[in-house]
A = this chain, B = another copy of it.
Amino acid sequence: MSDMIAPTRGAATLHDVAREAGVSLATASRVLNGSTRKVAESYRERVEAAAEKLGYTANLSAQATARGTSAIVALLVADIADPYFGQLAAGVARGADEAGLVVTIAITERDPQREVRLVRALRGQRPRGLILAASRVEGPDAAGLQGELDAFAGMGGRVVVVGPGGGTERSVAVDNRGGAAALGTELAGLGYRDAIVVAASEGIRTSDDRVAGFTEGFGAAGGSVREVRRTGFTRDAGYAAATELLADGGIAPGTLIFGISDVVAIGIMSAVRDAGRQVGGDIAVAGFDDIATGRDIRPGLTTVRVPLEDLGYRALHAATEPEWDAAEAPLALEVVVRGSTPPRS
């Protein structure tokens, strides 16, 4: 004579489980969620059976309000369709899964105002940590952002920025400058002497660092950067910039174009070809990041490999672990030379 499957509207609650098992709320809570086990085996079994039978899953929201802390990590990226962020997000997701955390994601579309708004919205979730993967730490809206971040940190959340560390928050940095310098050196070694850089607008640290590093490395090895063109971080920005360049004054054979990221470089390659020129022996192109596409296009794209997924994975840990050693083994960057920059004899 016991209950048929109670077709309760709404999910089974802890209360239901406790009743079904004939124990108190507290006991049920202890076996199902609490960490330190101190429940008689017989009770434990009854509770587990009841939970199973009812298909009980703890209500995370309730848990969060009661515990005062959530199991959420928020991730903010510029554009999730961009492979750069996609790989990064994959690393974050993997780490979160391992740690039993849930990832909520939001897209800034590279709009600083939007970014501020999103941080504020995410703050409402009281996430354990907030990973910022696309922020310009400078510029007019920086103050607003910083305000939100401080508020978040003030309420116990941890902010992690991927890229050049802004202020006091933790950061998972990539040695953009060093990597770009190595790339410059390598390419000068291959015989290139004349380069044009297609970068993002000034004030974006990642871009600035790559420009500086490349200029430095390329220059030190005997090359010189003739021009730095400013645009955005997208494939279309690269395409447009290269098209202009090609039209403006033309580009001499043997010139090297360094795109600030692979995505940009791929746009450049397309523009070069659409202009009837050849990528490689004619106009050389290099990028940064080593996204998957760079391996599949022909010629392959010369670039600096950034272990994007690792980066995301580390960011997740930086966002969740109490202890954090900023200086721990830095991510290894590696110059990868492919067909887009053949040796110039």
Residues in A lying within 8 Å of B, measured CB to CB: 7, 9-11, 55, 57-62, 64-65, 68, 70, 72, 79-83, 85-87, 89-90, 93-94, 97, 102-107, 118, 120-126, 147, 151, 154-156, 235, 266-267, 269-270, 273, 292-293, 295-298, 309
> Once the chains are docked, how many angstroms separate the CA of A86 from the CA of B93?
13
A11 touches B59 (CB 8 A): no
Distance (Å) between the CB of A145 and the closest chain B CB? 14
A155 touches B296 (CB 8 A): no
A10 touches B90 (CB 8 A): no
Q: List, sorted by A's number, 24 A–B pairs whose CB atoms are closer than 8 Å.
A: A7-B154, A10-B156, A11-B123, A11-B151, A11-B156, A57-B121, A57-B151, A58-B124, A59-B124, A60-B61, A60-B124, A60-B125, A61-B61, A72-B104, A79-B90, A80-B86, A80-B90, A83-B83, A89-B105, A90-B107, A93-B105, A235-B296, A266-B296, A298-B298
In the complex formed, the residue of B with least CB distance to A9 is: B156
Residues of B within 8 A of A55 (CB): 147, 151, 154
**A61 touches which of B7, B9, B64, B235 (Cβ 8 Å):** B64
**A81 touches which of B62, B83, B266, B297 (Cβ 8 Å):** B83
**CB-based closest 3 A-B pairs:** A11-B155, A61-B64, A81-B90
A80 touches B89 (CB 8 A): yes
Residues of B within 8 A of A102 (CB): 104, 106, 121-122, 125
Residues of B within 8 A of A273 (CB): 298
> Once the chains are docked, how many angstroms separate the CA of A156 from the CA of B61?
16
**A80 touches which of B9, B93, B121, B123 (Cβ 8 Å):** B93
> Once the chains are docked, how many angstroms separate the CA of A302 from the CA of B103?
36
Known contacts A102-B106, A102-B121, A106-B97; decide if A11 and B126 are in contact (CB<8 Å).
yes
A104 touches B106 (CB 8 A): no
Known contacts A60-B126, A235-B296, A269-B296; decide if A105 and B107 are in contact (CB<8 Å).
no
A81 touches B70 (CB 8 A): no
In the complex formed, the residue of B with least CB distance to A120 is: B57
Residues of B within 8 A of A292 (CB): 81, 235
> Once the chains are docked, how many angstroms separate the CA of A62 from the CA of B124?
10
> Once the chains are docked, how many angstroms separate the CA of A81 from the CA of B313?
13
Distance (Å) between the CB of A268 and the closest chain B CB? 10
